[in-house]
Amino acid sequence: MANEMKNKIDAILGKYSNPEESLIAVLQEVQAIDGYISKASVEYITEKTGIPSSRIMGVASFYAGFRLKPVGKYRIMVCKGTACHVNGAERIGDTVARVLGIGEGDVTDDGLFSWEEVACLGCCSIAPAMMINDKAYGKLTPDKVQSIIDSIREEAQV
C-alpha cells in the first residue's frame, strides 16, 4: 500500500481512542478516501491496532454501506427501488451491463466505470433513475442510458 494511504489511515486511527469500538466510523472514513475497503487497508488497520482482520472484514461485509471492491471513476448506481422497478429498472440495469460489458459490482478494465444496484435514490418522480457520481438521470430508456455512457466516455477521452 502507498505511504500516502498509510498516512491517511494513521490520521483516521489517531482520531479514535478505541478504534475497535469505533470500527464502523473508522471504515466509513477509509471508504470515503479510497472509495472502498481494500484488503490492504484491512491488513494495515490490523497491523496498527491488533484488531483481527477477520473482525474487520466481518463488520465491512455485514453492513450494506461498505464496498469491498473498487469503484470506477464514474460510479453508476442503478435504482432498484419500487417506483423504478415498476418502471423498468431491470431493463436499465441490463443495458448498463451490456454497454459496459461488466457484471453488477464490477469495474471496467480502464477503471472508468463501475455499476451497482442500489435502493431508492430519492428521485422516484423521474423513475426509472440512476446516478452517476453525484448526478441523477431519470426517465431512462435503454437508448438514453447508451447515450449518457457514450458521452461520458467521449468526454473522458478528450
Question: Which residue's C-beta sits nearest to ligand FES?
Answer: 81
For ligand FES, the binding residues in 105-134 under the rule CB under 6 A are 120-124, 127, 129
Take residue 25 and report the three cell numbers written for it: 466510523
Nearest-approach distance from CB 119 to ligand FES, in angstroms: 8
Residue number, 13 or 124, with CB nearest to ligand FES: 124
Nearest-approach distance from CB 90 to ligand FES, in angstroms: 12
According to the binding rule CB under 6 A, does residue 86 interact with ligand FES?
no
Q: Which of 7, 82, 133, 147 binds ligand FES (CB under 6 A)?
A: 82
HSE on the CB side for 123, CA within 13 Å? 18
The 32-51 contact track toward ligand FES, x by CB under 6 A, reads: --------------------
Whether residue 146 contacts residue 99, with contact meaning beta carbons closer than 8 Å, is answered with yes
Q: Residue 121's closest CA among 75, 155, 63, 153?
A: 75
Nearest-approach distance from CB 66 to ligand FES, in angstroms: 22
CA distances 15 to 25, 30, 130, 147, Å, are 10, 13, 35, 45
Nearest-approach distance from CB 148 to ligand FES, in angstroms: 16
Nearest-approach distance from CB 124 to ligand FES, in angstroms: 3
Which residues sit at the interface with ligand FES, rule CB under 6 A? 79, 81-84, 120-124, 127, 129
